[in-house]
């Protein structure tokens, strides 16, 4: 099955939609020109690694709703039926460029992922419900010892959304880019010089088990750092890792009001949160209770789910994603007006999402998708255009 892709935020109250978990906001006027069925994606290998690269374009067809894969020409192929236990998927790999080289493929109108791996092909399986994505927090996952990563994208009639993501793990670095309809190119996802190793060094130095997120191969090769949500699953982080901060937030707003203004284009639309009986109730301008939240645990905060579930609606979802961002960035105690978009105040509490803090600090432009609603306040590593001419994915050095 497709993994939970949770970077989703209603940028405006009106024109936003989720396609396979990837945000697709109604595009600006540049989408007037029809988006073709496929667009070119240039893969550039600046990794400096000598081992072969394998590339995969996987996702859900926005034309038929089928899950499948695309070949180098952008032709979509639906997956065959799966089984119990899951059966091997057809080989969907595309040979990637050698070190120092580039290769252009085409990507079709999908909502899905562009995977790349070094040295060996990825092992994909098909269950009765569809594709089984790699889950390397599971020690028995067949891809556990493979160095790989992925980008997420949606290409539809309104344009292209392409991101670099660290939501599930931080691993082989890469950047994404798009050539816009006016001929200009924008990119994001590059680390600072030395940033890749610096992330792992900082995690190891952070007290409280954060270094336990790092996975290595038996030969000593560092493969990745799991996201803290997966760190809870594996026991690398204690379940109480955020309890102190969560408790202080609940105490504060039992005696004061948290104001949430979730829509940038509707500054007058506000919701007001107060804790009563252990529950944070949100009211609208009329004083009516519109939604309520039980005190979340660390898993709910780090995953932005469960007790902080965020449906794709106009009330609970926008409030929940604002709370999620405030908890992960530890801004809820210092600013009762949320969302807080001033990065100077992010991650200042001793109890915070140190994984997200460390990654953002090492990104060249400060942008990342280190947790599900990292796009609150536009901190996400995302490129978009309504009439894209060309997409890019650059494999960066592991140093």
Q: Give tens-digit pLDDT for 157-194.
A: 999 999 999 999 999 999 999 999 999 999 999 999 99
Give the orientation angle of helix 354-362 with respect to helix 195-205, to 10 degrees.
150
212 with 241: CB under 8 angstroms?
no
175 with 187: CB under 8 angstroms?
yes
User: What is the rounded distance in angstroms from the CA atom of residue 311 to the CA atom of residue 293?
Assistant: 13
Residues 66 and 205 reside in one and the same domain: yes
Show the domain range for 318. Answer: 243-352
Q: What is the predicted pLDDT for the residue at 275?
A: 98
Residues 126 and 191 reside in one and the same domain: yes
User: What is the rounded distance in angstroms from the CA atom of residue 172 to the CA atom of residue 195?
Assistant: 12
The CA distances from residue 75 to 63, 110, 245, in Å, are 13, 11, 49
Is there a domain that residue 181 lies in? yes
Which comes out higher in pLDDT, residue 29 or 317? 317
Residues 183 and 101 reside in one and the same domain: yes
Cis peptide before 339 (omega within 30 of 0): yes
In terms of Cβ atoms closer than 10 Å to its own Cβ (0-12, 13-18, 19+), residue 272 is: middle
Strands 390-395 and 38-45: parallel
Residues 230 and 303 reside in one and the same domain: no
371 with 357: CB under 8 angstroms?
no
267 with 280: CB under 8 angstroms?
no
User: What single DSSP character describes residue 363?
Assistant: B
Is there a domain that residue 10 lies in? no
Confidence of residue 397 (pLDDT cuts 50, 70, 90): very high
Confidence of residue 63 (pLDDT cuts 50, 70, 90): confident
- Residue pLDDT, tens place only, 121-154: 999 999 999 999 999 999 999 999 999 999 999 9
- Sign (positive/negative) of CA torsion 68, 65, 138, 169? positive
Q: What is the predicted pLDDT for the residue at 32?
A: 42
Q: Is the pTM of the predicted complex or chain greater than 0.85?
A: yes
Q: What is the predicted pLDDT for the residue at 166?
A: 98
Is there a domain that residue 258 lies in? yes
Strands 67-70 and 53-61: antiparallel
Residues 6+ apart with CB under 8 A from 294: 278, 279, 307
Is there a domain that residue 29 lies in? yes
User: What single DSSP character describes residue 11?
Assistant: S
Residues 321 and 372 reside in one and the same domain: no
pLDDT of 25 > 50? The answer is no
Give the orientation angle of helix 243-255 with respect to helix 316-329, to 10 degrees.
120
User: What is the rounded distance in angstroms from the CA atom of residue 352 to the CA atom of residue 18?
Assistant: 28
Reduced to 3 states (helix: H, G, I; strand: E, B; else coil), residue 157 is coil
Give the residue among 332, 359, 246, 245 at the shortest CA–CA distance from 294. 246
Residues 295 and 384 reside in one and the same domain: no
Is there a domain that residue 5 lies in? no
Confidence of residue 216 (pLDDT cuts 50, 70, 90): very high
User: What is the rounded distance in angstroms from the CA atom of residue 89 to the CA atom of residue 147?
Assistant: 20
Mean pLDDT taken over the chain: 92
pLDDT of 12 > 80? The answer is no
Residues 254 and 231 reside in one and the same domain: no
According to DSSP, the residues that pair with 116 across neighbouring strands are 55, 149
- Residue pLDDT, tens place only, 315-332: 999 999 999 999 999 999
Q: What is the predicted pLDDT for the residue at 28?
A: 38
- Residue pLDDT, tens place only, 47-56: 999 999 999 9
Is there a domain that residue 1 lies in? no
pLDDT of 310 > 70? The answer is yes
User: What is the rounded distance in angstroms from the CA atom of residue 273 to the CA atom of residue 279?
Assistant: 10
Is there a domain that residue 71 lies in? yes
Residues 316 and 368 reside in one and the same domain: no
CATH number, position 331: 3.30.920.50
Confidence of residue 34 (pLDDT cuts 50, 70, 90): confident
Is there a domain that residue 92 lies in? yes
Calculate mean pLDDT across residues 1-7: 32
Which comes out higher in pLDDT, residue 87 or 63? 87
Residues 256 and 389 reside in one and the same domain: no
- Residue pLDDT, tens place only, 272-305: 999 999 999 999 999 999 999 999 999 999 999 9
Number of domains in the chain: 2
CATH number, position 137: 2.60.110.10
Calculate mean pLDDT across residues 213-220: 95
Q: What is the predicted pLDDT for the residue at 15?
A: 27
The residues annotated as belonging to the active site are 152, 168
Residues 184 and 308 reside in one and the same domain: no
Calculate mean pLDDT across residues 13-31: 34
Residues 33 and 148 reside in one and the same domain: yes
pLDDT of 31 > 80? The answer is no
Supply 76's token pair.
Answer: 């979509």
Residues 216 and 263 reside in one and the same domain: no
């Amino acid at each position: 099955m497709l993994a939970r892709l949770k970077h989703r935020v209603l940028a405006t109250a009106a024109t936003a939609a989720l396609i396979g978990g990837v945000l697709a906001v109604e595009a600006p006027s540049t989408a007037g020109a029809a988006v073709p069925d496929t667009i070119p994606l240039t893969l550039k290998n600046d990794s400096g690694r000598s081992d072969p690269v394998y590339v995969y374009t996987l996702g859900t067809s926005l034309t038929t709703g089928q899950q499948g894969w695309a070949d180098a020409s952008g032709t979509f192929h639906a997956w065959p039926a799966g089984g119990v236990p899951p059966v091997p998927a057809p080989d969907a790999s595309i040979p990637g460029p050698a070190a120092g080289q580039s290769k252009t493929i085409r990507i079709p109108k999908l909502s899905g992922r562009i995977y790349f791996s070094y040295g060996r092909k990825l092992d994909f399986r098909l269950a009765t419900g569809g594709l089984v994505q790699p889950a390397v927090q599971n020690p028995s996952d067949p891809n556990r010892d493979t160095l790989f990563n992925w980008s997420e994208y949606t290409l539809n009639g309104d344009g292209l959304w392409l991101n670099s993501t660290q939501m599930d793990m931080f691993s082989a670095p890469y950047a994404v880019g798009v050539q816009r309809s006016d001929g200009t190119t924008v990119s994001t996802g590059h680390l600072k010089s030395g940033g890749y190793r610096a992330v792992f060094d900082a995690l190891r130095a952070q007290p409280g088990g954060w270094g336990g997120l790092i996975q290595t191969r038996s030969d000593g090769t560092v493969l990745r750092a799991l996201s803290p949500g997966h760190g809870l699953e594996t026991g690398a982080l204690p379940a109480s890792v955020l309890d102190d901060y969560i408790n202080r937030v609940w105490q504060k707003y039992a005696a004061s009001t948290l104001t949430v203004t979730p829509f940038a284009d509707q500054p007058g639309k506000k919701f007001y949160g107060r804790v009563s009986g252990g529950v944070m109730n949100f009211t609208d301008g009329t004083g009516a209770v519109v939604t309520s939240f039980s005190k979340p645990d660390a898993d709910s905060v780090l995953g932005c789910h469960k007790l902080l579930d965020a449906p794709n609606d106009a009330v609970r979802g926008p409030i929940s994603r604002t709370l999620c961002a405030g908890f992960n960035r530890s801004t809820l105690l210092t600013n009762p007006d949320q969302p807080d978009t001033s990065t100077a105040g992010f991650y200042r509490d001793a109890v915070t999402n140190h994984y997200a803090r460390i990654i953002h600090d090492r990104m060249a432009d400060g942008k990342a998708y280190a947790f599900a609603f990292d796009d609150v306040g536009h901190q996400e590593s995302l490129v978009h255009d309504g009439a894209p001419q060309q997409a890019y994915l650059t494999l960066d050095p592991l140093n």
